[in-house]
Amino acid sequence: MIPSITFPAVELAKITAAQLYEQRLLFLLLLLRSPQLRLVYVTALPVDPAIVDYYLRFLPETADARSRLSMVTLDDPSNRALSEKLLDRSDVLDRVRALAGDPDDACVLTFNVTVAEQAVSSRLGLALYGPSPELVPLGSKSGSRQVARRARVAVLEGAEDLHSVAALDEAVARLRERRPSAGAVVVKLNNGFSGQGSVMVTLPPGDAGLSLPSAPSIFCAAEESWPSFSAKLAAEGAIVEELVREPGVVSPSVQLHASPAGTFEVVSTHDQILGGPGNQVYIGCSFPAHPDYRLAIQEAATRIGAVLAAEGVVGSFGIDFLVVPYGRPPVGRDVYLSEINLRMGGTTHPFWMVRLATGGRYDVASGELTAGGRAKSYVATDNIKSASLVGRTPASVIEAVEGAGMGFDPASATGVTLHLLGAVPGFGKVGLTCIADNPEAAEALSQQATEVLVGPG
Provide DSSP, 92-104. HHHHHHHHH--GG
pLDDT bracket for residue 457 (50, 70, 90): low
Lowest model confidence (mean pLDDT) among 22-36, 62-76, 147-161, 207-221: 207-221
> Contact, 199 vs 220, CB < 8 A?
yes
Q: Which residue has the higher pLDDT, 143 or 280?
A: 143
When the pLDDT of each residue in the chain is averaged and rounded to a whole number, the result is 93
> Contact, 16 vs 40, CB < 8 A?
no
Question: What is the rounded distance in angstroms from the CA atom of residue 288 to the CA atom of residue 297?
Answer: 12
pLDDT bracket for residue 229 (50, 70, 90): very high
Question: Is residue 341 classed exposed, middle or buried when 0-12, 13-18 and 19+ CB atoms within 10 A define those classes?
Answer: buried
What pLDDT is recorded for position 330? 64
Question: What is the rounded distance in angstroms from the CA atom of residue 251 to the CA atom of residue 164?
Answer: 28
Model confidence at 264: pLDDT above 70 = yes
Is the pTM here over 0.75, yes or no?
A: yes
Q: Which residue has the higher pLDDT, 120 or 280?
A: 120
Question: What is the rounded distance in angstroms from the CA atom of residue 195 to the CA atom of residue 220?
Answer: 7
CB atoms within 10 A of CB 159: 18
Which residue ranges form the domains of the chain, and what is each CATH number? 9-129 (no CATH), 157-242 (3.30.1490), 372-457 (3.30.1370)
Name the 3-class secondary structure at 417: strand
Over residues 185-209, the mean pLDDT reads: 83
pLDDT bracket for residue 113 (50, 70, 90): very high
% residues pLDDT > 70 (the chain): 97
Please report, to the nearest 10 degrees, the dihedral formed by the alpha carbons of residues 107, 111, 114, 118 taken in order. -10
